[in-house]
Amino acid sequence: AFVVTDNCIKCKYTDCVAVCPVDAFHQGPNFLAINPNVCIDCELCVPECPAEAIFQEDALPADQQPFLKLNEELSEIWPVITEVIPAPEDADNFNGIANKLPQLIV
Ligand code: SF4
Ligand code: F3S
């Protein structure tokens, strides 16, 4: 499955959800998670993300490993999102900022 990683936090552009053929994305307050049991590895979402936050699980950078379990856990408690919504007003200020995990709102 594909995995949403740190740089999505507080950016949440949601362009990714528009192309997912199986509605695998789930929405929290400032992050999205992919349900690994639904994702069919089509890879369509990867180039859509302006924050380059989506990786195949086997290609996850070492420092992004915690997001594997987080995507699975959060997708179980958050609702599905299928339509693009406006990004946070200050999203661009957080694109590229490292280690935003402490700012994740569950
Ligand atoms: Fe959806 Fe394809 Fe991305 Fe998986 S890889 S989340 S199926 S768009
Ligand atoms: Fe997040 Fe990128 Fe989607 S910032 S909401 S994974 S388009």
pLDDT confidence band for 94 (50 / 70 / 90): very high
**33 CA → ligand 2 middle, Å:** 9
CATH 3.30.70.20 given to domain 2-84+97-103: yes
Percent residues over pLDDT 70 in the chain: 100
Give residue 8's pLDDT: 98
| Domains of the chain, residue spans | 2-84+97-103
pLDDT confidence band for 22 (50 / 70 / 90): very high
**8 CA → ligand 1 middle, Å:** 15
Atom of ligand 1 lying closest to residue 1 CA: 4
Residue of minimum CA distance from atom 3 in ligand 1: 45
Segment 92-105 shows an average pLDDT of 98
Segment 68-81 shows an average pLDDT of 98
Q: Looking at beta carbons, which pairs linking 23-27 to residues 24 or more positions away fall under 8 Å?
A: 23/80, 23/82, 24/75, 25/80, 25/81, 25/82, 26/74, 26/75, 26/78, 26/79, 26/80, 26/81, 27/78, 27/79, 27/80, 27/81
